[in-house]
A = this chain, B = another copy of it.
Amino acid sequence: MYSEKYPSRLLQEAVEAIGSLPGVGRRSALKLALHLLRQPAENVRHFTSAIDRLRNEVKYCSVCRMISDGDICGICADNRRDHKTICVVESVRDVMSIEKTRQYTGVYHVLGGIISPIDGTGPSDLTIDSLVARVSALAASDPPEDIEVIFALSGEVEGETTAFYIYRQLSSTGVKVSTLARGLGFGDDLDYADELTLGRSLVNRQLFRP
- B interface footprint on A1-45 (CB within 8 Å = 1, 0 otherwise): 111111111110110111011110000101111111101010011
Q: Give the contacting residue for A8; candidates B22, B68, B100; CB below 8 A.
A: B68
Complex interface: chain B residues within 8 A of A39 (CB): 55
Give A residues with C-beta under 8 Å from B: 1-11, 13-14, 16-18, 20-23, 28, 30-37, 39, 41, 44-59, 66-69, 73-75, 77-78, 91-93, 95-96, 99-100
Instruction: Check A92–B7 contact: CB distance below 8 A.
Output: yes
A-B contact pairs, 9 of them (CB 8 A): A7-B74, A10-B54, A14-B54, A16-B50, A23-B28, A36-B54, A39-B55, A41-B56, A45-B52
Please name the residue on chain B nearest to A113 by beta carbon: B38
B37 A54 Cβ-Cβ under 8 A: yes
Residues of chain B within 8 A (CB-CB) of A41 are 55-56
**Could you say which of B16, B17, B48, B93 contacts A30, with CB atoms under 8 Å apart?**
B93
* CB nearest neighbor in B for A4: B99
**Contacts A1-B78, A11-B58, A23-B28 known; 18 new A-B pairs at CB < 8 A:** A2-B77, A7-B74, A7-B75, A7-B96, A10-B54, A11-B67, A13-B53, A14-B53, A17-B50, A21-B35, A22-B32, A34-B91, A36-B55, A39-B55, A45-B52, A47-B51, A48-B48, A48-B49
Q: Which of A10, A21, A28, A100 has its CB near the most chain B CB atoms (within 10 A)? A: A10
